[in-house]
Structure 1
Amino acid sequence: MCLHLEQMFETSIRAEGIDNMLTIGKYSLTNPRRLVRALSILTLGFSMSLLGITGSLAGNEPGGALEFVTVQPGDSLWDLAGEHGQDQDPRDWIARVVQLNALESIELTPGQQIALP
């Protein structure tokens, strides 16, 4: 089966001037700018979604490394903030731990595993 180039791509002439219209099968591209715009939007959307996915996989910390500890009897988030979050405001560190572990309160249960930034 041999198709000639003229059969795949046709040039149409309009009354207002010459317009190159790409025709493949029964589909024709009358405005190439539409295709470029659509492909640009799709590429941008795909790139943004890919960045969102990789950003969420990288973790919420700048270094991406989390430390996991097991809560001991008598431990509190304030104690852990003093041990593990020395370079930060304890309130900010505790808020981050609560968010990171989806804790409903700052009360800890002995034996509970929590992630620390």
Structure 2
Amino acid sequence: MGVVSTPLLDEARSIFTDLGYTVSNAGTELRAERKWRVVYVTASNPDETPEHGELRCFVTREDHASSLCDDLLARAPEYDWAVMGLTDTGGYQIHHPTISEGLPT
């Protein structure tokens, strides 16, 4: 797996907590739970596409989000995924394979 960026995971933990998720460490990634949903949160671009989980969120800086989406589309993992692009101003955009442009927050 690629290099884990602790600041990315720290920002993702804060965002998911603010959204009402219970967040815990799951090895080199996070596990965010809310109601029936369990979302595995991975920082940046993994060398190998994780195989477990039904919902995944890949976290990167906004300027890398499009290329990460393209990479994931080419890998075609068999789970629902999104990319969270973190901005320099503390915000984020969600990129999903069925959405042509990121959703601002």
Q: Same fold (TM over 0.5)?
A: no
Q: Which protein is richer in helix relative to its size?
A: 1
Give me the TM-score of the superposition, normalised by structure 1: 0.21
Largest Rg, 1 or 2: 1
Indicate the structure with greater strand content.
2
- Taking structure 2 as the reference length, the TM-score comes to 0.23
